Amino acid sequence: MEPLFYHLSNLVTRNDYRKLQKAKDFFGNWKNVWENIKKTEKSDLNPEVEWKKLQKLNINLVLNESLDYPVLLKEIPWPPFGIYSIGALNKINEPTLAIVGTRKATENGKELARIFASSLVLSGINIVSGLALGIDASSHAGAIEAKGYTVAVLGNGLDEIYPKTNEKLGKKILESGGAIISEYPPDMPSLPHHFIQRNRIISGLSKGILVIEAPERSGSLATARFAVDQNRDIFVIPGPISHPNFKGSNELIRQGATLVTKPEHIIEIIEPELAQKETKTQNLFAENPEEALILNALQKSKKGFSVDKIIELTKLDAEVANRVLSFLVIKNVVKETENGYTL
């Protein structure tokens, strides 16, 4: 019943890490912590009622003493005492990369996030991000489109998806076999400092982080700082020196982060054995947004699509679609069969 006692203590202290750490160090286990806190804080929480709330919301709680707790997360400074989750955590310990970037991303930046996420999961690397608008959302979407595993880390309780505009994306993550997690109990709002705290979890779950479009003042830079403290690899896609979305990104490169322009650059560092294999990543990396649209469409078909179907799915002009398909066939990325075009 330790998870229950931790949950009650977490509710009463409003996830006050220092207070919980001090109490745990003194009292030894969460049952004793709870017995003390409910007296000092004069709490009238009903344990049975609070536990049923978690069950009703399909929220699981795993403590950092458990074998089910993410392995990499145990290594970081200030690891969460417990992780609340909805969805499957069965792949949480497999090779994982975090993708982060600005909420106000350019269309090109969002497309790069989708392409990199899709390519990486096709190579066997999971994607973790924060479900925010912009780069985060595109990263999750790219992983889902390639039928990969992705985890969203929230800065609020799991009784509500934040931001609300990404609620449908959150449901897709769960439907695809992924997970949504948080260190905050239900009913905890998304306060500004929560986002900084949750960034240590995003980087902590991962072997490295990929930064796409980080302005001079960006939460992504905070994630990068956590990554340095956690001894994680930092990868950055460079951009124009005059564009405000790349000021932070380019500075990270200047400070020693690894400049990358394609997914293979990441794979060969965090999972070198995967880089030595012939993977779908090499074939499915798109060189422009039009190629990305077509490749993403073809991933949805096992038998192949006709040109008309591809045009319908991608909304591309017929002339553009035919031209891009021809180049993809020449590059041996796409095959032309009697059933249409296929990967």
Domain extent listing, the chain = 2-56, 96-278, 286-342
Q: Which residue has the higher pLDDT, 157 or 301?
A: 157
pLDDT band at 16 (very low <50, low <70, confident <90, very high): very high
**Nearest-10 Cα torsion for 148, 81, 231, 120:** 0
Burial of 93 (0-12, 13-18, 19+ CB in 10 A): middle
Q: What is the CATH number of domain 96-278?
A: 3.40.50.450
Angle at 201 between CA 198 and CA 205, to 5 degrees: 155
pLDDT band at 279 (very low <50, low <70, confident <90, very high): very low
Q: Has residue 278 got a pLDDT over 90? A: no
Over the Cα atoms of the chain, what is R_g?
A: 22
Q: Does 286-342 carry CATH code 3.30.930.10?
A: no
Q: pLDDT > 90: what percent of the chain?
A: 71
Give the range among 43-52, 207-216, 313-322 with minimum mean pLDDT. 313-322
pLDDT band at 280 (very low <50, low <70, confident <90, very high): very low
pLDDT band at 227 (very low <50, low <70, confident <90, very high): very high
**Whole-number Å distance between alpha carbons of 105 and 239:** 12
Per-residue pLDDT averaged across 286-309, rounded?
A: 82
Per-residue pLDDT averaged across 247-271, rounded?
A: 93
- In sequence order, the 6+-apart residues with CB closer than 8 A to the CB of 126 are 91, 92, 94, 95, 96, 97, 143, 148, 149, 150, 151
pLDDT band at 162 (very low <50, low <70, confident <90, very high): very high
- Determine the pLDDT at residue 154: 98
Burial 64-88 (b: 16+ CB within 10 A, else e): eeeeebbebbeebeebbbbbbbbbe
Tokens of 331: 């590059």
Task: Give the CB-side neighbour count of residue 116, counting CA atoms within 13 A.
Answer: 34
Q: Has residue 259 got a pLDDT over 70? A: yes
Average pLDDT of the chain, as a whole number: 91
pLDDT band at 276 (very low <50, low <70, confident <90, very high): low
Q: Has residue 80 got a pLDDT over 80? A: yes
pTM of the complete model beyond 0.75: yes
- Determine the pLDDT at residue 158: 97
